[in-house]
């Protein structure tokens, strides 16, 4: 049982962090399909940072810097140049995947993988079998709570939701939706980078080309499935991790008799189902898309 | 006409923006941007034989992109071309397996039909959910891409597995030579004929039929189209089916032609590139043909770079991604400058 919990926490934590980044953006009215790109930038910058500086703190700061920079690029293109957020987000993802692949090849001359001498600090033997978990796993509930408080219990959070749901109304009370989105996307860069860092340095300590393998998009699915609520989306992300742990488990126990690839498709199917259900309940209106295309 | 010229100008300006951004990325990653870009141009168009290679990649991309354009025109943001491409190729591979032994003139049309049907089906359910319940098609088609990708992994490592395949990438059994519509060079009379036929048919459909007229009106102003008495849901479903069928057709061509088999995760950037082509061409069929040739060139340069110039093929992904970031941009300043041409939006 313990090993299943550890496996779920290890695969779920990066997903939760990236999901939180998606939640902030979603609340501000930007569908962030660049999550995959932000995550891989975070992962790559962490490992390169460890190798170059030899300090985990500096490496995390470098990762956060690049992820925030990429988020600001997305904001500039979407808000200032009025680009379509979906295409621009997919572009950011491509830029992250391609750019990191280029970076590791130019620094290390091999396209496969870069190993780091050490990773994130672990809990240590005092915690028994759970000692292998990294500190970001323990920090995760704190971050989720902090974000929930920020988004759902402060004036800023409500203003942000207003900008996302009805920018026109938000502007009429003197808010600047564009600026609020800049703040939201910049804040979102931090958990996205941490998610990438946990993926690359939490239990593995290496970076490989395309190592996020669609996790950013699964995080986006969790944002939608969790109705852009910090707690709901976190639960959705953990639920997806449990599903994938079941898939891996089924493969180990039953071998090829169970189509484990199809079990991995369940999160996506669940998202489609959840979205369909919510659109049925809303009575077939399609608010989100038209509201983003404000002015 | 003037509006069209301003659109091309606008696209060109943002493509230049994109080139500046990807040069920056190349520099940050530690490459000389000018070396990379000259090598890309060399690999795509300038070296001898490059144009034939570009055409090989451009033809399937053109077919998918025309389909993407049809659904975008109608106002449906079908970004599921990749999934429809995969499901089309999977269906074709199953049909080829079942009909194995039958004469080629039966198998090839059956495969093409099955591929189109499979692609159309993979676009039908998001279309149905969108039109019936208002479920956002962006998310359903995106999720459909991942489901189709996993389905492809399942199929190539399960029912259609090639037992003699090497462990790295699961793939189906190679297609018998008699059923192939081209060699692995990917250029043949059949493929060119299919692409030309698709291009002509779609041009006629978009520009010369009531459906094309109403569908593009519906994309801009659905309420007006409803008042005209047209059935919006019919226009919508037809657009979804057409775009899915064309993506499935492209998948089938890749299967019957250059690849000769389906492999897990093959051509992962096809759908995304096709969406870019449709956007750059502003959904016009003729424009799509030209743009497809450009992106086909980039795709062939991706194979050329690592072998001939020792540069990683990810450079091409960076170029495509930078174009994606800027291609839908509508800068107000630029509008002001370009409005001299009389185009206002």
What tens digit of pLDDT does each residue of B160-174 get? 888 776 666 788 888
Residue A288 banded pLDDT, cuts 50, 70, 90: very low
Supply the pLDDT for residue A180: 93
Query: Contact at 8 Å (CB) between A241 and A8?
Result: yes
Domains of chain B: which residue ranges? Answer: 32-160+169-310
| CA distance linking residue A26 with residue A32, whole number of Å | 7
Residues in chain B: 345
| CA distance linking residue B20 with residue B37, whole number of Å | 11
Q: Give the C-alpha distances (Å, rounded to integers) separating A147 from A76, A186, A219, B212.
A: 24, 14, 16, 48
For the record, the structure tokens of B18 come out as 């994109």
| CA distance linking residue B73 with residue B287, whole number of Å | 14
Mean pLDDT of A10-19: 93
The reply to whether residue B138 touches residue A280, judged by beta carbons under 8 angstroms, is no
Would you identify the CATH topology of the domain A2-292? ABC transporter involved in vitamin B12 uptake, BtuC (1.10.3470)
Closest residue in chain A to residue B134, using alpha carbons only: A284
Query: Contact at 8 Å (CB) between A46 and A63?
Result: yes
Residue B225 banded pLDDT, cuts 50, 70, 90: confident
A221/chain B closest Cα distance in angstroms: 8
- Tell whether the model's pLDDT for residue B93 goes beyond 60: yes
What number does CATH give the domain B32-160+169-310? 1.10.3470
Lowest average pLDDT, out of B104-118, B243-257, B292-306, goes to: B292-306
Of A91, A214, A271, the CB nearest to B139: A271
Bridge partners (DSSP) listed for residue A207 = A114
* B29 vs A contacts (CB less than 8 Å): 99, 102-103, 106
- Tell whether the model's pLDDT for residue A292 goes beyond 50: no
The alpha carbon of A171 is separated from its chain's Cα centroid by a whole number of angstroms, namely 29
Mean pLDDT of B253-274: 91
Q: What is the SS3 assignment for B12? A: helix
Of A250-254, A281-285, B240-244, give the range with the top mean pLDDT.
Answer: B240-244
How many Cβ pairs closer than 8 A exist between chain A and B? 163
In terms of pLDDT, which residue wins out, B328 or B242? B242
Query: Contact at 8 Å (CB) between A143 and A128?
Result: no
The reply to whether residue A275 touches residue B279, judged by beta carbons under 8 angstroms, is no
- Tell whether the model's pLDDT for residue B342 goes beyond 50: no
- Entry pTM: 0.91
Contact of B158 with chain A, judged by CB distance below 8 Å, is answered with yes
Residue A26 banded pLDDT, cuts 50, 70, 90: very high
Q: What is the dihedral of CA B83, A104, B277, B22, to 10 degrees?
A: 150
Domains of chain A: which residue ranges? Answer: 2-292
The reply to whether residue A261 touches residue B134, judged by beta carbons under 8 angstroms, is no
Lowest average pLDDT, out of A35-44, A220-229, B125-134, B302-311, goes to: B302-311
Q: Give the C-alpha distances (Å, rounded to integers) separating B3 from A142, A163, B33.
A: 54, 34, 34
Q: What is the SS3 assignment for B328? A: coil
For the record, the structure tokens of B260 come out as 């000769």
Residue A193 banded pLDDT, cuts 50, 70, 90: very high
Supply the pLDDT for residue A286: 45
**Region at A213 (left for phi over 0; alpha for psi -120 to 50; beta for the rest):** left
Predicted complex ipTM? 0.88
Percent of chain B at pLDDT exceeding 90: 43
Supply the pLDDT for residue A287: 42
The reply to whether residue B329 touches residue A272, judged by beta carbons under 8 angstroms, is no
A224/chain B closest Cα distance in angstroms: 9
- Reported as a single tens digit per residue, the pLDDT across A200-210 is 988 888 888 88
Bridge partners (DSSP) listed for residue A114 = A207
| CA distance linking residue B93 with residue B108, whole number of Å | 11
Mean pLDDT for chain A overall = 87
Dihedrals phi, psi of A206, to nearest 5 degrees = -150, 160
Cβ neighbours for A277, distance < 8 A, ≥ 6 positions apart? none
* B153 vs A contacts (CB less than 8 Å): 261
Q: Give the C-alpha distances (Å, rounded to integers) separating A101 from A61, A96, B105, B308, B321.
A: 21, 8, 44, 19, 13
Closest residue in chain B to residue A288, using alpha carbons only: B136
Q: Give the residue carrying structure tokens 């990066």.
A: A14
Contact of B157 with chain A, judged by CB distance below 8 Å, is answered with yes
* A285 vs B contacts (CB less than 8 Å): 134
- Tell whether the model's pLDDT for residue A256 goes beyond 80: no
Burial of A125 (0-12, 13-18, 19+ CB in 10 A): exposed
* B163 vs A contacts (CB less than 8 Å): none
Percent of chain A at pLDDT exceeding 70: 93
């Amino acid at each position: 049982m313990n090993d299943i919990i550890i496996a779920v926490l290890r695969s779920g934590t990066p997903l939760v962090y990236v999901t939180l980044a998606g939640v902030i953006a979603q609340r501000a009215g930007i569908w962030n399909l660049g999550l995959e790109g932000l995550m891989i930038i975070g992962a790559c910058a962490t490992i390169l940072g460890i190798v170059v500086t030899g300090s985990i703190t500096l490496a995390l700061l470098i990762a956060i810097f690049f992820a925030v920079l990429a988020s600001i690029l997305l904001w500039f293109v979407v808000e200032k140049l009025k680009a379509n957020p979906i295409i621009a987000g997919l572009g950011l993802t491509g830029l992250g995947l391609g750019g990191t692949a280029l970076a590791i090849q130019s620094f290390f001359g091999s396209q496969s993988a870069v190993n780091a001498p050490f990773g994130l600090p672990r809990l240590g033997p005092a915690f028994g079998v759970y000692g292998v978990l990294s500190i970001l796993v323990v920090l995760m509930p704190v971050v989720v709570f902090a974000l929930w408080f920020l988004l759902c219990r402060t004036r800023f959070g409500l203003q942000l939701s207003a900008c996302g749901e009805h920018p026109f109304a938000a502007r009429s009370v003197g808010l600047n939706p564009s600026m609020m989105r800049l703040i939201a996307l910049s804040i979102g860069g931090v958990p996205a980078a941490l998610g990438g860092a946990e993926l690359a340095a939490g239990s593995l300590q290496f970076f490989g080309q395309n190592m996020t393998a669609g996790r950013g998009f699964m995080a986006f699915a969790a944002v939608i499935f969790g109705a852009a609520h910090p707690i709901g989306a976190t639960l959705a992300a953990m639920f997806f991790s449990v599903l994938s742990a079941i898939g891996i488990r089924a493969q180990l126990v039953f071998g090829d008799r169970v189509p484990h690839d199809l079990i991995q498709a369940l999160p996506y199917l669940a998202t489609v189902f959840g979205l369909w259900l919510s659109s049925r309940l809303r009575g077939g209106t399609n608010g989100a898309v038209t509201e983003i295309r404000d002015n | 006409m003037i509006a069209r010229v301003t659109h091309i100008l606008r696209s060109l300006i943002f493509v230049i923006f994109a080139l500046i951004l990807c040069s920056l990325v190349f520099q940050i990653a530690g490459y000389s941007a000018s070396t990379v870009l000259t090598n890309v141009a060399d690999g795509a168009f300038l070296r001898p034989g490059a144009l034939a290679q570009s055409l090989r990649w451009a033809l399937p991309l053109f077919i998918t992109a025309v389909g993407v354009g049809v659904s975008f025109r109608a106002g449906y943001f079908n970004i599921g071309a990749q999934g429809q491409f995969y499901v089309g190729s999977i269906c074709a591979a199953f049909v080829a397996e079942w009909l194995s032994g039958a004469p080629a003139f039966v198998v090839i049309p059956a495969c093409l039909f099955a591929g189109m049907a499979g692609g159309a089906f993979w676009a039908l359910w998001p279309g149905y959910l969108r039109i019936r319940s208002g479920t956002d098609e962006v998310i359903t088609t995106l999720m459909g891409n991942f489901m189709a990708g996993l389905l492809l992994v399942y199929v190539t490592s399960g029912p259609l597995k090639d037992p003699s395949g090497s462990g790295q990438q699961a793939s189906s059994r190679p297609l018998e030579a008699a059923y192939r519509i081209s060699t692995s060079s990917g250029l043949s009379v059949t493929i060119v004929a299919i692409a030309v036929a698709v291009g002509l048919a779609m041009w006629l459909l978009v520009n010369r039929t009531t459906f094309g007229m109403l569908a593009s009106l519906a994309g801009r102003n659905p309420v007006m189209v409803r008042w005209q008495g047209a059935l919006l849901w019919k226009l919508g479903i037809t657009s979804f089916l057409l775009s899915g069928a064309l993506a499935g057709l492209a998948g089938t061509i890749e299967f019957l032609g250059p690849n000769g088999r389906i492999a897990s995760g093959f051509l992962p950037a096809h759908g995304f590139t096709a969406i870019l082509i449709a956007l750059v061409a502003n959904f016009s069929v003729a424009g799509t043909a030209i743009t497809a040739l450009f992106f086909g060139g980039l795709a062939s340069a991706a194979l050329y770079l690592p072998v001939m110039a020792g540069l990683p093929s990810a450079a091409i992904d960076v170029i495509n991604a930078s174009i994606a970031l800027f291609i839908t941009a509508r800068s107000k300043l630029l509008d002001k400058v370009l409005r001299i041409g009389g185009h206002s939006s």
